[in-house]
Structure 1
Amino acid sequence: MSEELKTIKELADELGVNKQNVQYHIKSLPNKERLKNEKGIILLTIDEQNFIRAKILKVSTDKVLADKVSTDKISTDKVTTDKVTTDKISTDKISTDKVTTDKENNFLIEKIKIQEEQIRDLKEQRRNGKEQLDIKDSQIAQMQNLLDQQQRLALQDKKLLEEYKSEINELKSLKMPQEDKKENQSQEEVQTIKKQMEALNDKIKGQEQLNNQVSKKWYQFWK
């Protein structure tokens, strides 16, 4: 078990009181939530121990002083006893109150330190959240740029395809060489037309490959 944490019984044994006495003062702790070990036994932190210790020591001191005043009144002269007892009560009460006040102040100081750490953690979480938002905004801007690029490419593709189709139609509309021309001239013209058709088909395939590459980049961005 950690040296900083103690059970109710351990603290009661240390202070020489019963468990019920410690449990009574636990109700006065500012924090109502209790730490527990794996067996469900309540564990008290150093701040809680100091708080309860101060309460019990004050009660014990007051009781001892009351008993002493009663004994002195019986065994000595009333006037002398009253004066001595009054002076001692005042001195002891000041000393006890000072000890109690110091321990309560220490408890408050520790509590303030914990709150300051919580505030620093919240500020750090806020900074991290802002960085994540900045990253998300950057990703959205990149996505918009890719979308604009894809739209421009789509328009260019559409325009090129229309031009290719127009050229193909023009080639198809060309009249084949007349029968009265020489056979070798007809073959040359046919070959020329075939080459032009193949060139146009290559352009169309190249444009389709470019579109596929842009689509893959878009898919990888969202993946």
Structure 2
Amino acid sequence: MKNEEYKTIKELADDLGVTKQTVQYHYKSFADKETVLSDKGAILLDNRLQSLLSEKIGKKNIEKPTKESANYTAKKQLISKELELLKEELNNKDEIITELLESQKNLQKLLDQQQVLTLQANQKIEQLEMNLAESEEKEKLSLWQRLFRK
């Protein structure tokens, strides 16, 4: 067989995304294996063994969700719930802001009306004071006129 068809345990482990020990553990379970060693003494796996190991290790990885994936799923659900709560809170605060802006608008309108009424009242008071001053002035003239005419 050609050397291209063989992979070391380490190469297969890297391809499968598992540790070298995992591949070695499952490799030992095959009784009909024929051990081929490289020049450096590493075990070489032929295509048949690679397929068998890949299938066996792949099934175990699919069957058992890892702790990390379970933690990831739990964290994702927690974040999703928290996000929903934050969205709801944001919507509530938006409603409050809208109500406060409307209230502020109404208060500003009332303040403007109050200022107009105050201005009108002050103008009337000034007009009455001017009328009173004119009346008093006329009365004073009348008094002097009465005194000097006699």
1:33-57 per-residue CA deviation (whole Å, 9 max, x = no partner) reads: xxxxxxxxxxxxxxxxxxx7xx225
Shift of 1:167: 0.5
Whole-Å separation in 2 of the counterparts to 1:101 and 1:145:
64
Superposition pairs of residues 143-182 of structure 1, within 5 angstroms:
143-174=104-135, 175-177=138-140, 178-179=143-144, 180=146
- Whether 1:117 and 2:78 are equivalent positions in the alignment is yes
AA partner of residue 23 (structure 2)? V
Q: Distance in 2 between matches of 1:119 and 1:145?
A: 39
Residue by residue over 1:155-174, the C-alpha shift from the partner in whole angstroms, topping out at 9 and shown as x without a partner, is 10111111111101111111
Q: CA deviation at 1:116?
A: 1.8
Q: Distance in 2 between matches of 1:61 and 1:94?
A: 14
Task: Check if 1:59 corresponds to 2:20.
Answer: no
Q: Which amino acid aligns with 2:97?
A: K
Identity rate of aligned residues, in percent?
A: 9
| Residue among 25, 33, 40 paired with 1:69 | 33
* Superposed displacement of residue 112, structure 1: 2.7
The C-alpha deviation readout for 1:115-156, integer Å capped at 9, x for no partner, is 222211111110111121122112212211210111111110
Provide TM-score, normalisation by structure 2.
0.58
Distance 1:59-1:95 versus aligned 2 partners, 3 A rule? closer
- Aligned-partner Cα distance in 2 for 1:112–1:122: 15
Measured after TM superposition, the shift of residue 68 of structure 1 is 6.7
Match of 2:60 among 74, 91, 99: 99
Residue 142 in structure 1 maps to residue 106 in structure 2: no
TM norm structure 1: 0.41
- Gaps spanning 5+ residues in structure 2: where? 1-9, 36-51
Q: Write the deviation string for residues 54-95 of structure 1: whole angstroms up to 9, x where unpaired.
A: x22541224324687237xxxxxxxxxxxxxxxxxx8x9887
Gapped regions of structure 1 (runs ≥ 5): 1-20, 29-51, 72-89, 182-223
Number of residues of Structure 1 aligned to a counterpart in Structure 2:
114
Q: Quick one: higher RCO (CA 8 Å, sep 6+), 1 or 2? A: 2
